[in-house]
Chain A
Amino acid sequence: MTKININLISGRTIQQGVSMEAGKEKENYMTSCGLIELDQADIHQLGIMKNTNVRVTSKFGSVIVKAILATQGPHPGLGWIPMGPWANMLVDSNTYSTGTPTFKGTAVTVEPAENEHVLSSIDLVLKSCNDV
């Protein structure tokens, strides 16, 4: 199966902000943040249709999110997951003596996962915590 290696960053989107204020337990938060924005070139290389679920894996964890076409691009080689529990499944906790984890610049692998589901924020965090 095709896998691609890209650099991952995260941050705010207006949809993330609105859905967060409307309730993080709601489905809209999941559909706004449980996604990865990929460049057209990276989607092509991955060999998937846009809006397909993918597994994103880093040295620090793994998460299922929906791959969509970058809304603010082009940026080949760069993936974007809006800030929230989905992005944070992949982030290095190391702060390098600053207190701030390294939220941007995570090396990740993306692979198709059409038959997997994107979990809600609450389910994702509870499942990860109980899988210790």
Chain B
Amino acid sequence: MSKRLTDIICPFCGTLCDDIEIDVSDDGKQILEVYNACAIGSEKFLHVQSPDRITRPRMKQEDGSWNEITYDEAAKYTAKVLCDAKKPLMYGWSSTSCEAQSIGHMIGEQVGGVLDNTATVCHGSTLIAMQDVGIPSCTLGEVKNRADRIIFWGCNPAHAHPRHMSRYSIYSRGYFTGKGSKSRKIIVVDPRPTDSASLADEYIQVEQGRDYELLDAFRAALKGSPLPKMIAGVPSEKIYELVEILKQGRFVVIFFGMGVTHSLGKNHNIDMAIALTSDLNNYTKASIIAMRGHYNVTGSGQVLGWQFGFPFCVDLSRGFARYNPGETSSNDLLMRGEVDGCLVIGSDPGSHFPIGSVKKINAIPTVCVDPHMTPTAAISKCHVPVALVGIEVGGSCYRMDNVPIDSRKVVDPPEGMLTDAEFLDLVLKEVNKIKGDAK
């Protein structure tokens, strides 16, 4: 016998699909089948019961082998690493709950750490642009119900956010978009003709790294200004034609991704995309939304924002919050050799930072809080496996459009395993003991 749990939240990407259904065994301990999730989400749910899962904290020995320790010992070691460091880096936070983040931030305040999340290698430049020029935005519900012109700029939702198109942006049938994809015109701008481009009405093959020029050309065309024959590999007639399609729409939404944030120009590319959105509002309604990756990277920005006023790379080492991307951001700190202790939680910089920065993490005492074996765990001195948020413990998460959603518990974690929040609580107590002793 099995029972079906409904309205489960998928803890993979920023789309935070909230319609997942899961069959669990009668005793509620095993996931049998996952419905409605994409291939990546399904794998995430099913992987929790992998037989080779690491279930206890462990310390790396001289010879590279691992020695099992208790959670208390791991918490003591973590607290010592953070308290001994002059400028500890506390990185990640995007695959855990807002509740765990807030405990981590208390630790950060006590130890004078730098709190940075995965936006630093993702939509950090978007956040800078938003602070520079503001952002006209909306919720994904409004997109579903109202948007009839969708632009995917430098993003490939077919691969990165597999259900985004069916739930919100192309195929979904909303109040004013009852004909689904037939109600909408889809435009994809990307240097590669991606699988998302194959679903579009119009595909524009921009020259890689020339997004700024093309966005600027869209703005000029919108104002009726003359253009050179070719801009960023795109003929000007095409740009004029697309601008007309946008002006005739009732509601234009631009979704953008790493194609613009990771290419040179970075935040300035997004400044221009936001300015285009703003200009479009002279003709019709237009909004712009960042395609956020981790399921709670948006939440980390929110919690840091409430508590310290800045959405990422918050430096507390002087006893007050400082924020200066390029100076207080993880990769810059690592490359300059400024951090001397590291806590990684809810992310994997070992896989997703340039190798130059990974070597620096390897050279300092690092604790990795992660349910699985990853390259970050491999270069850490201490690896602390924890229960997965959204599968083995509930918690607050923020969708890519800044809508908070409570994730739900589906099954129990392996016996004796702590959650992120419980482990960070232990670390905070140890930090308080050390700091108390110091006083």
Contacts and interface: CB of A to CB of B under 8 A. Distances in A.
Given A24-B372, A95-B331, A88 B325 contact: no
Contacts of A92: 354
A105 interface: yes
A61 B357 CA distance: 12
Given A72-B195, A104-B262, A24 B331 contact: no
A61 B355 contact: yes
B40 A103 contact: no
A109 B350 CA distance: 24
Given A73-B193, A98-B325, A128-B355, A7 B125 contact: no
A70 to B, nearest CB: 8
B159 A17 contact: yes
A99 B326 CA distance: 5
Contacts of A97: 325-327
Contacts of B159: 11-14, 16-17
A74 B193 CA distance: 7
Contact of A21 (B44, B120, B351): B44
A24 B351 CA distance: 9
Contact of A24 (B162, B313, B363, B374): B374
Interface string A36-67: 00000000000000000000000011000000
A9 interface: yes
Interface in A67-103: 70, 72-75, 78, 80, 83-85, 88-89, 91-93, 95-103
Interface string B334-357: 110000000000001011111111
Given A9-B191, A125-B378, A89 B355 contact: yes
Nearest to A97: B326
Interface string B227-270: 00000000000000000000000000000011101111011000
A96 B158 CA distance: 30
B71 to A, nearest CB: 23
B345 to A, nearest CB: 16
Contacts of B351: 20, 24, 84-85, 88, 121, 125
Nearest to A131: B359
A126 B433 CA distance: 35
Interface in B249-301: 257-259, 261-264, 266-267, 293
Nearest to B260: A104
B7 interface: no
B329 A23 contact: no
A89 B359 CA distance: 11
A93 B358 CA distance: 10
A84 B44 CA distance: 17
Looking at chain B, what size class is its interface with the partner chain?
35 or more
A6 B264 CA distance: 17
Given A21-B44, A99-B312, A105 B352 contact: no
A84 B352 CA distance: 6
A101 B353 contact: yes
B43 A22 contact: yes
A121 to B, nearest CB: 5
A96 B121 contact: no
Interface in B121-152: 121-122, 124-125, 128
Contacts of A20: 40, 351
B40 A88 contact: no
Contacts of A84: 351-352
Contact of B356 (A93, A96, A121): A93
A78 B326 contact: no
Given A14-B159, A24-B351, A88-B352, A100 B122 contact: yes
Given A21-B47, A23-B373, A121-B375, A88 B353 contact: yes
Contacts of A18: 39-40, 43
A21 B354 contact: no
A31 B354 CA distance: 20
Contact of B208 (A14, A104, A124, A129): A104
Contacts of B263: 102, 104-105
Contacts of A95: 325-326, 329, 331-332
A105 B264 contact: yes
Contacts of B116: 99
Q: Which 7 A-B pairs have the closest CB atoms?
A: A99-B329, A97-B326, A99-B325, A17-B40, A129-B362, A125-B375, A12-B160
28 contacts: A9-B191, A14-B38, A14-B40, A14-B158, A14-B159, A21-B43, A23-B372, A24-B375, A25-B373, A61-B355, A72-B192, A72-B193, A73-B192, A75-B192, A75-B193, A78-B192, A84-B352, A85-B358, A93-B334, A93-B353, A95-B329, A98-B325, A99-B325, A101-B121, A103-B354, A105-B264, A125-B355, A132-B363
Given A11-B262, A61-B356, A97-B327, 17 more contacts: A12-B156, A14-B159, A18-B39, A23-B47, A23-B50, A74-B193, A75-B205, A78-B191, A96-B264, A98-B124, A99-B125, A100-B121, A101-B354, A105-B264, A121-B375, A125-B350, A125-B355
